[in-house]
């Protein structure tokens, strides 16, 4: 053992003398270089102390049980064919399709199984139960959760980690953001610190605590997958996407960062099975706190409204409107007598910034407007006819109606592949369009883009359509694509048509 140590010391001394490990004589022998492919790309990452976060802040996470009633189909055995009426006054009795009748018969199921009305069935109110999660934000018993957790509940019970139970009062719930505020009669309760979801970075560790399937205070961890996600019919919320395991019962529970601060409320999952498949979504805590403050102060939330329908800007639209990059919110509809119309916004404008904040995806706009207050003035930067412009709008109140996200699908016959004719006077009256061209035949580029016979072309590249010759001129001067604003079934949307 001593011999080995001695040899090692001699080797180190020899290496220092020749300069391999430093010292004099560095020029005599070149330093050994690590191959580029073997060099580390980043410093070692230390995992968060999940157990410490859970021990310190887990007691502020609660289990929520709800009891209520829901109308369900019940089979009538007494021969009484009178069906109960639903809230609209219409008869609730429905005949099952033949295929479903055979399904129930083959498996020996009653006609009202799974709440599906069958012959001789009627609707009755039946008790339903549900569970979710929440977290305490003030020592006097203020709790945040999801609106869908407590929607329609007759009784809400909150259970703490120390097994105490309290009946909770629903102070308010906001369906547009899916946030609800509860209050329990208790004091000196543990709370969770609130963080900044804007400071989150993709790839950062996050932690969820909740009650999946009723298993109270379950802990799961993962990373932030993306920020600012827009989901169908949830345009007001810029969701945080994670790969944290979230399942039924986790709804309303906190999403915490590596410092134990709440950055979101776990709300939804994307799944083909109904269970966790690696994609979950959380409501940013700033939005939830905005809703909480409004509910505590006024008992409800009054969201701001601009009054536009917008859609995504893809590369074809960017080419059509001569945008430097495919970013922004393309205005497809401006509601009459709305704040947007009064501000001068027009169909075909691309909204790029609001109060200096960039609008990259179309979902950024309703999320940003939703955080503002009715009556607030906002500065809107738009791209119009190849130039930047600035407008000022005074926001109105959403009052139950919000901007919709339009979906992009996609004249004489030519590059476009459209055969069109002018609107007749009675058609102008029916469609309430002052000018436009009716599509009679579709082929080529327009057909591939999704244009259909019967569509009315209202504008091309933001220019109102007056006649066929004008359309020819616009298309002749266009680049790789054109953006058609069409009206179909009373709805307007932009369709990009590639002609290059």
What is the domain partition of the chain in residue ranges?
197-298, 304-397, 418-498
How much of the chain, in percent, has pLDDT values that exceed 70? 76
Asked whether residue 264 carries a pLDDT value surpassing 60, the answer given is: yes
Kind and range of the H or E run holding 16: helix 2-18
Per CATH, 197-298 and 304-397 having the same topology is answered no
pLDDT band at 39 (very low <50, low <70, confident <90, very high): low
Asked whether residue 353 carries a pLDDT value surpassing 90, the answer given is: yes
| pLDDT for the residue numbered 272 | 77
Asked whether residue 91 carries a pLDDT value surpassing 50, the answer given is: no
pLDDT tens across 387-418, in order? 999 999 999 988 644 333 333 333 444 577 88
| pLDDT for the residue numbered 401 | 42
pLDDT band at 368 (very low <50, low <70, confident <90, very high): confident
Report residue 429: phi and psi, to 5°. -70, -40
Asked whether residue 32 carries a pLDDT value surpassing 50, the answer given is: no
The highest-level CATH class for domain 304-397 is mainly beta
Residues 3-29 have a mean pLDDT of: 40
| pLDDT for the residue numbered 69 | 73
Homologous superfamily (CATH) of 418-498 is PDZ domain (2.30.42.10)
pLDDT band at 22 (very low <50, low <70, confident <90, very high): very low
The CATH number that domain 197-298 falls under is 2.40.10.10
Query: b/e map of 311-337 (b: 16 or more CB within 10 Å)?
Result: bbbeebbbbbbebeebbbbbbbbbbee
The catalytic residue positions are 148, 178, 251
Residues 344-367 have a mean pLDDT of: 91
| pLDDT for the residue numbered 444 | 79
Asked whether residue 74 carries a pLDDT value surpassing 70, the answer given is: no
CA 249/CA 140 separation, integer angstroms: 24
pLDDT tens across 155-192, in order? 999 999 999 999 999 999 998 899 999 999 999 999 99
Asked whether residue 424 carries a pLDDT value surpassing 60, the answer given is: yes
Where is pLDDT greater, at 66 or 4? 66
Burial of 389 (0-12, 13-18, 19+ CB in 10 A): middle
Asked whether residue 15 carries a pLDDT value surpassing 60, the answer given is: no
What pTM value is reported for the model? 0.65
What are the C-alpha distances in Å from 426 to residues 224, 363, 423, 432, 452?
55, 37, 8, 10, 21
Provide the greatest CA pair distance for the chain: 107
CA 18/CA 22 separation, integer angstroms: 8
| pLDDT for the residue numbered 477 | 79
Token readout for 282 is 């959380």
Where is pLDDT greater, at 82 or 468? 468
CA 66/CA 80 separation, integer angstroms: 33
Residue 184: name the closest of 282, 74, 85, 62 by CA: 62
The per-type count for the chain, helices as H runs and strands as E runs, is 11, 26
pLDDT band at 118 (very low <50, low <70, confident <90, very high): low
| pLDDT for the residue numbered 419 | 83
């Amino acid at each position: 053992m001593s011999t080995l140590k001695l040899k090692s010391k001699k080797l180190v001394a020899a290496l220092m003398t020749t300069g391999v490990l430093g010292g004099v004589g560095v020029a005599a022998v070149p330093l050994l270089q690590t191959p580029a492919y073997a060099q580390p790309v980043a410093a070692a990452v230390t995992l968060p102390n999940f157990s410490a976060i859970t021990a310190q802040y887990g007691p502020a996470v609660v289990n929520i049980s709800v009891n209520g009633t829901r109308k369900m189909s019940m089979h009538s055995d007494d021969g009484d064919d009178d069906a109960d009426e639903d809230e609209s006054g219409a008869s609730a009795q429905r005949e099952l399709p033949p295929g479903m009748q055979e399904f129930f018969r083959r498996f020996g199921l009653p006609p009202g199984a799974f709440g599906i009305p069958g012959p001789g069935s009627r609707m009755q109110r039946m008790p339903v139960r549900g569970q979710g999660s929440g977290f305490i934000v003030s020592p006097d018993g203020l709790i945040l959760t999801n609106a869908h957790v407590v929607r329609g509940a007759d009784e809400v019970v909150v259970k703490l980690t120390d097994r105490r139970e309290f009946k909770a009062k629903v102070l308010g719930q906001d369906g547009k953001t899916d946030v609800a505020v509860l209050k329990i009669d208790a004091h000196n309760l543990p709370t969770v610190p609130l963080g900044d979801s804007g400071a989150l970075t993709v790839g950062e560790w996050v932690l969820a605590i909740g009650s999946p399937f009723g298993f109270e205070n379950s802990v799961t961890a993962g990373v932030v997958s993306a920020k600012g996600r827009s989901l169908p019919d949830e345009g007001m919320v810029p969701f945080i996407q994670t790969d944290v395991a979230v399942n039924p019962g986790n709804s309303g529970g906190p999403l915490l960062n590596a410092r134990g601060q709440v950055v979101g409320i776990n709300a939804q999952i994307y799944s083909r099975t109904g269970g966790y498949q690696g994609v979950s979504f959380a409501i940013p805590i700033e939005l939830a706190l905005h809703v909480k403050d409004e509910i505590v102060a006024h008992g409800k939330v009054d969201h701001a409204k601009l009054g536009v329908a917008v859609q995504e800007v893809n590369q074809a639209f960017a080419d059509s409107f001569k945008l430097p990059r495919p970013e922004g919110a393309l205005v497809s509809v401006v509601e009459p007598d709305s704040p947007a119309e009064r501000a001068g916004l027009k169909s075909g404008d691309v909204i790029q910034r609001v109060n200096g904040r960039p609008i990259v995806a179309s979902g950024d706009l309703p999320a940003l407007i939703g955080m503002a207050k009715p009556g607030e003035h906002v500065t809107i930067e738009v791209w119009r006819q190849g130039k930047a412009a600035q407008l000022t709008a005074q926001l109105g109140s959403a009052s139950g109606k919000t901007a919709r996200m339009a979906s992009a699908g996609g004249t004489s016959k030519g590059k476009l592949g459209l055969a069109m004719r002018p609107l007749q006077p009675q058609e102008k009256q029916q469609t309430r369009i002052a000018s436009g061209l009716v599509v009679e035949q579709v082929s080529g580029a327009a057909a591939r883009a999704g244009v259909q016979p019967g569509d009315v072309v209202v504008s091309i590249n933001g220019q109102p359509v007056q006649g066929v010759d004008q359309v020819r001129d616009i298309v002749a001067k266009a680049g790789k694509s054109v953006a058609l604003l069409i009206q179909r079934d009373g709805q307007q949307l932009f369709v990009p048509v590639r002609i290059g």
